[in-house]
Structure 1
Amino acid sequence: MANSARALPPLLLGLLLMSAPGALGANAGLVARITDKGLEYVTREGLVTLQSELHKIMLPDFTGDFKIKHAGHGQYEFHSLDIRSCELLGSALRLLPGQGLTFTISDSFIRVQGKWKVRKRFLKLQGSFDLQVKGITLSVNLLLGSQPPGRPTVTASSCSSYIRDVEADMSGNLGWLLNLFHSQIESKFRRVLESKICEMVQKLVNSDLQLYLQTVPVTTEMDSFASIDYSLMEAPRATAQMLDVMFKGEFFNHHHHSPVAFVAPVMNLPEEHSQMVYFAVSDYVFNTASLVYHEAGYLNFSITDDMIPPNSNIRLTTKSFRTFVPRLARLYPSMNLELQGVVVSAPLLNFTPGNLSLAPQMEIEGFVLLPSSVRAPIFRLGVATNVSAMLTFNTSKITGFLKPEKVQVELKESKVGAFNVALLEALLNYYILNTLYPNVNDNLAKGIPLPLLKHIQLCDPVLQIHKDFLFLGSNIQYKRV
Structure 2
Amino acid sequence: MASLALLFFLIISSTFLFSHAANLQLQSSTTQDESFTSILVSQNGLDFVKDLLVNKAISSIIPLQLPATIEKSARIPFLGNVNMVISNVTIYKIDVLSSYVKLGNSGIAIVASGTTCNLTMNWRYSYSTWLVPFEISDEGRASVEVEGMEVGLTFGLENHEGTLKLSLMDSGCYVKEITIKLDGGASWLYQGMINAFEEQIASAVESAITNKLNDGILKLDSFLQSLPKEIPVDDNAFLNVSVVENPILSNSSIEVDINGLFTDMKNVPAVSKNYWQTRQPSFFCTDQSKMLGISLDEAVFNSASALYYDAEFMEWIVDKVPDQALLNTAGWRFIIPQLYKKYPNDDMDLNISLSSPPVIRISERKIGATVYADVIIDVVEADQVIPVACISLVIRGSGSVKIVGNNLGGSVKLDDLQMSLKWSKIGSLRMYLIQPVMWTLVQTVGIPYANSYLGKGFPLPIIRGFTLQNPEIIFSSSKVSVCSDVAYSESDDLDQLYLGCKLFGQQKPRM
User: Counterparts of 1:280-319 in structure 2 under 5 Å?
Assistant: 280-304=295-319, 307-309=320-322, 312-317=324-329, 319=330
What one-letter code is carried by the residue in structure 2 that aligns with 1:110?
A: C
SS at match of 1:137: strand
User: Counterparts of 1:392-471 in structure 2 under 5 Å?
Assistant: 392-405=402-415, 407-471=417-481
Distance 1:29 1:449, change over 3 A: farther
User: Given that residues 225 and 255 in structure 1 are in contact (C-alpha distance below 8 angstroms), is that contact kept between their aligned partners in structure 2?
Assistant: no
Structure 2 CA distance for aligned equivalents of residues 77 and 191 of structure 1: 16
CA offsets, 1:453-481, max 9 Å, x none? 34333222111111011111111233334
- Counterpart residue number, 2:53: 46
Distance 1:69 1:275, change over 3 A: same
CA offsets, 1:42-78, max 9 Å, x none? 2211221233244222123212332222221132111
User: Given that residues 216 and 454 in structure 1 are in contact (C-alpha distance below 8 angstroms), is that contact kept between their aligned partners in structure 2?
Assistant: no
What one-letter code is carried by the residue in structure 2 that aligns with 1:79?
A: S
Shift of 1:153: 4.1
Shift of 1:259: 5.4
- Counterpart residue number, 2:204: 192
Aligned residue pairs, count:
469
Structure 1 CA distance for aligned equivalents of residues 60 and 217 of structure 2: 12
Structure 2 CA distance for aligned equivalents of residues 87 and 371 of structure 1: 80
SS at match of 1:51: helix
User: Given that residues 394 and 459 in structure 1 are in contact (C-alpha distance below 8 angstroms), is that contact kept between their aligned partners in structure 2?
Assistant: no
Distance 1:439 1:313, change over 3 A: closer
User: Given that residues 350 and 356 in structure 1 are in contact (C-alpha distance below 8 angstroms), is that contact kept between their aligned partners in structure 2?
Assistant: yes
- Counterpart residue number, 2:234: 223
User: Counterparts of 1:208-357 in structure 2 under 5 Å?
Assistant: 209=220, 218-254=229-265, 257-258=268-269, 260=271, 264-268=277-281, 269-270=283-284, 272=286, 273-304=288-319, 307-309=320-322, 312-317=324-329, 319-357=330-368
Question: Which sits farther off after the overlay, 400-409 or 168-177?
Answer: 168-177
- Counterpart residue number, 2:74: 66
Distance 1:427 1:116, change over 3 A: same
Gaps of 5+ in 1: none
1:473 corresponds to 2:483:
yes
Distance 1:445 1:37, change over 3 A: same
CA offsets, 1:225-269, max 9 Å, x none? 233222222343322332111122212233663453556543322
1:95 corresponds to 2:109:
no
User: Given that residues 270 and 304 in structure 2 are in contact (C-alpha distance below 8 angstroms), is that contact kept between their aligned partners in structure 1?
Assistant: no
What one-letter code is carried by the residue in structure 1 that aligns with 2:109?
A: T
Among 120, 143, 148, the alignment partner of 1:135 is 148
What one-letter code is carried by the residue in structure 1 that aligns with 2:372?
A: Q
Shift of 1:331: 4.2
Superposed CA RMSD: 3.2
TM-score between both structures, scaled by the size of structure 1: 0.86
Shift of 1:106: 1.8
TM-score between both structures, scaled by the size of structure 2: 0.81
What one-letter code is carried by the residue in structure 1 that aligns with 2:284?
A: P
What one-letter code is carried by the residue in structure 2 that aligns with 1:360?
A: V
Shift of 1:152: 3.2
User: Counterparts of 1:120-131 in structure 2 under 5 Å?
Assistant: 120-121=127-128, 122-131=135-144
Structure 2 CA distance for aligned equivalents of residues 361 and 155 of structure 1: 51
What one-letter code is carried by the residue in structure 1 that aligns with 2:172?
A: S
Distance 1:76 1:439, change over 3 A: same
SS at match of 2:64: coil
User: Counterparts of 1:62-211 in structure 2 under 5 Å?
Assistant: 62-99=70-107, 101-121=108-128, 122-147=135-160, 150-171=162-183, 177-183=190-196, 185-207=197-219, 209=220
What one-letter code is carried by the residue in structure 2 that aligns with 1:352?
A: S
SS at match of 1:359: strand
What one-letter code is carried by the residue in structure 2 that aligns with 1:144?
A: L
User: Given that residues 20 and 479 in structure 2 are in contact (C-alpha distance below 8 angstroms), is that contact kept between their aligned partners in structure 1?
Assistant: no
Structure 1 CA distance for aligned equivalents of residues 228 and 433 of structure 2: 49
Of all paired residues, the percent bearing the same amino acid is: 18
User: Given that residues 20 and 294 in structure 2 are in contact (C-alpha distance below 8 angstroms), is that contact kept between their aligned partners in structure 1?
Assistant: no
Question: Which sits farther off after the overlay, 230-239 or 456-465?
Answer: 230-239
SS at match of 2:376: strand
CA offsets, 1:182-209, max 9 Å, x none? 44x33222221101011122233433x4
CA offsets, 1:4-62, max 9 Å, x none? x9676334432345699999444322222111211221221122123324422212321
Shift of 1:281: 1.5
Shift of 1:117: 0.9
What one-letter code is carried by the residue in structure 2 that aligns with 1:35?
A: S
Shift of 1:406: 5.4
Distance 1:70 1:316, change over 3 A: same
